[in-house]
Chains A and B, each alone.
Chain A
Amino acid sequence: MVTYLDNNATTRTDPEVLAAMLPYLSELYGNPSSMHSFGGQVGAAIEAAREQVASLLGAEATEIIFNSCGSEGNNTAIHAALAAQPEKRHIVTTAVEHPAILAVCKHLEKRGYTVTYLSVDGRGELDLMELEAAMTGGTALVTTMYANNETGVIFPVEKIGAIAKAYGATFHVDAVQAVGKVPIDLATSTIDLLTLSGHKLHAPKGIGVLYVRKGFRFRPFLLGGHQERGRRAGTHNVPAIVALGKAAELAQINLAHTKREAELRDMLECGLLATIPDTVVNGGGAPRLPNTTNIGFKYIEGEAILFMLNREGICASSGSACTSGSLDPSHVLTAMGLPYTILHGSIRFSLSRYTTEAEIRQVLTVMPEIVERLRAMSPFNNDQAEWLQERDVALAT
């Protein structure tokens, strides 16, 4: 049996979603851009999917632009926001964004933009005073995530948006981790642009959406076709769009049930904390997504934990350096100022509506022994270990 607890990385395609998309991979292969009725029926399916996504977000169908993924949405949003107010050269974001935001910001810095990276505290939360202080009349864009992919910590987006609006800045939200997990109502929101990605809510990979508020001066990023009313050129990925529509419909129903996911998550969290000493929940004090928990197991390293879990058939993820191919620990946990004792040994478990109680129990059964084995090997097995850095001991106590 495989226990899949890495749903913030990607989710399995829902069988109903798969069933909905299959005809568009076989007999219904028309191009929605064609004038004939064979293409037309496919075009109708796209519009139905647009309605389904709009409904999940409390948006209007015309505000939905289908694209390929979250990274495309984030890149497009930033460029669109800057194009809308070309005289403004300042961007505000946070230190814990996804690379699809951070890399673009770093790139823009080289092109003469200034970027403010807001810090987070030990719970992963923003200081709105710091945001206020960063804002100027020259701020073109405020871009923040809705919820953090590693810790699940939810930002107060409407408060952030209110501040952004007060300074005339565009407000973009990367909601890739939040859509389908928390209710979002764009009809009553300050959000101008919002990114979502299909494969995080049980649609297949390679489909995403950029929401663009009606009336926003949008400049397309991808040129060369009239698709999406000229706002995103490129042949429609029809099966994936239909799938995302169905996934959005199911997510809307699921929103009423996320309490169950939160209960399973809490069962996992409490169980681990109760049976394994020197364990902390990263971001535990902040409002969080119902499906995510990020736990720091002190004195051991994340990749080693993941390999031990993998042998038990459990898939999770780690913010540790070694798993990512780079050597620096998670920029999110680092920005939270966590001590190294926790930083390197943090594991993210992310659940979905398919997660069962039996799976959670399995993790609770195997995890204590895994931690014990690795701690037995570690030269740091308590905060008194002579070898620990001063900073760590100070932070940990």
Chain B
Amino acid sequence: MDEPRQRTPSPSTHPPPTHPPAYPPTHPPAPHPPLTPETAMWDYSEKVLELFYNPINQGTIDDSAEPDVAVVYGEVGSIACGDALRLHLKIQQSTDSILDARFQTFGCTSAIASSSALTEIIKGKTLDQALHITNQDIADFLGGLPEAKMHCSVMGQEALEAAIYKYRGIEVEHHEDDEGTLVCACYGITEKKIRRAIAENDLTTVEQVTNYVKAGGGCGSCLANIEDLIVDAQESAETVRAAAELAVAREQRSQEAAAPTPLTNLQKITLIQQVIDEEVRPILIADGGDVSLHDVEGDRVLVKLQGACGSCASSTETLKYAIEAKLQRRVLPTLTVEAI
């Protein structure tokens, strides 16, 4: 075993300064620039900070046993997760609507702001309307949340659901998301819940999943499994897309199959004659010209231009193409017109 080295003070030791500086220092450096909450740490919107520093609807609701009024609360999260929300609702039973909402939150700045925002959003809504509120609505109300804080808005949406389920007598404990295989043991997040978050929010990376539902934010041992779920979701999205494309192709084919049978020669010539007589000639005659059908050879339509229309070369071309376009549209796209 090596003994600790004993050493005489190094000859190179720097000599102590002759005039030691005062202690504590008498000339502190220039003052710090001012601090603003807006520039601190996370890039929070003004609304987030406002609702954090001055939260609205914080607290509980007492059940005063008023007629036609029910008081319930829903809760999500736990102290282990680092955030938790208990949402209290005062419900008018006859109208099934929310008279008042209050919150108690354990969590960060954005968790508190999200809770406060949620209570503002849902007041006055019917329970059915409230159930349609998504975490994105909460984030939007706040003017956005940093990606890594999206789970705070998810917590709001879940607490709302929990409260309404409770009022309606649906066992929250049996929320289908909480059942099934546990993917993230650190935060108790199931496969179902992760799949739902991926699908609803179009998540494509593990970081996003962590930001939305926290899974993977702890020891990290579930990250590979989350990755698999994302790949899975993308593959099933692929399958859906492929199926949709197939359906479109089939539809097209069946439309083609239902398309009218080709015209007979006689039908074609009759139709050409009809279009020329009814739609082309009246315009030309009005301008002092005229046209007559000379012959039809396969898809070649031979016409004779008369009057003003026959005299100038360029107008002949123009007219030829004008007639051709009309016949292609009205009779057959493969027709060409030639003036003789």
A residues near B, CB below 8 A?
A: 1-2, 4, 12-16, 18, 48, 51-52, 54-55, 58-61, 158, 161-162, 165-166, 187-190, 213, 249-250, 252-254, 257, 260, 299-304, 306-308, 310-311, 313, 315, 320-323, 325-329, 340-341, 344, 353-354, 356, 376-380, 387-389, 391-392
Contacts and interface: CB of A to CB of B under 8 A. Distances in A.
A353 B23 contact: yes
Interface stretch (B33-41, B253-261, B298-306): B33-41
B82 interface: yes
A375 to B, nearest CB: 9
A12 B33 CA distance: 13
Interface in B287-325: none
Contact of A344 (B29, B79, B112): B79
Interface in B1-47: 1-2, 4-10, 12-14, 16-17, 20-21, 23-25, 27-29, 31-35, 37, 40-41
Given A15-B27, A376-B58, A55 B10 contact: yes
Given A54-B12, A392-B79, A377 B104 contact: yes
Given A51-B14, A326-B217, A379-B105, 13 more contacts: A1-B31, A2-B32, A54-B13, A189-B4, A249-B17, A257-B24, A307-B37, A320-B108, A322-B82, A344-B79, A353-B25, A378-B104, A378-B106
B86 interface: yes
Interface string B68-102: 00000001001110111110000000000000000
Contacts of A158: 4
A306 to B, nearest CB: 7
A304 B58 CA distance: 15
Given A249-B14, A307-B40, A380 B210 contact: no
Contacts of A260: 23-24
A58 B9 CA distance: 7
The 9 closest A-B CB pairs, nearest first, are A327-B217, A187-B7, A2-B32, A322-B108, A303-B108, A379-B104, A55-B14, A165-B2, A379-B86
A389 B85 CA distance: 15
18 contacts: A1-B31, A2-B33, A2-B35, A4-B32, A51-B12, A61-B10, A158-B4, A165-B1, A253-B16, A300-B106, A304-B52, A307-B109, A313-B35, A328-B218, A354-B25, A377-B105, A379-B105, A380-B79
B55 interface: yes
A387 B187 CA distance: 16
A323 B148 CA distance: 11
A302 B112 CA distance: 13
Given A51-B13, A165-B2, A388 B79 contact: yes
Interface residues of B, number: 64
Given A2-B35, A327-B210, A353-B25, A379 B82 contact: no
A126 to B, nearest CB: 19
Contacts of B106: 299-301, 344, 377-380
A195 B86 CA distance: 47
Nearest to B151: A327
Given A190-B2, A307-B52, A320 B82 contact: yes
Given A4-B32, A353-B24, A389 B78 contact: yes
A242 B111 CA distance: 46
Nearest to A258: B23
A344 B59 CA distance: 21
Contacts of B7: 58, 187-188
Contacts of B214: 327
Interface of B: 1-2, 4-10, 12-14, 16-17, 20-21, 23-25, 27-29, 31-35, 37, 40-41, 49, 52-53, 55, 58-59, 75, 78-80, 82-86, 103-109, 111-112, 148-149, 151, 186-187, 210, 214, 217-219
B186 A328 contact: yes
Contacts of B151: 327
A349 B129 CA distance: 47
Contact of A310 (B6, B14, B35): B35
A156 B195 CA distance: 49
B27 A379 contact: no
Contacts of A14: 25, 29
A249 B15 CA distance: 9
Nearest to B44: A307
B254 to A, nearest CB: 52
Nearest to B103: A377
B82 A301 contact: yes
B9 A187 contact: yes
Contact of B23 (A253, A322, A328, A389): A253
B79 A311 contact: no
B29 A13 contact: yes
A235 B86 CA distance: 58
A320 B10 CA distance: 44
Contacts of B24: 257, 260, 353-354, 356
A304 B48 CA distance: 12
Contacts of A188: 4-7
Most chain A C-beta atoms within 10 Å of own C-beta, residue among B14, B84, B86, B214 = B14
Contacts of A161: 4
Given A60-B12, A253-B21, A387-B79, A315 B41 contact: no
A377 B112 contact: yes
B157 to A, nearest CB: 18
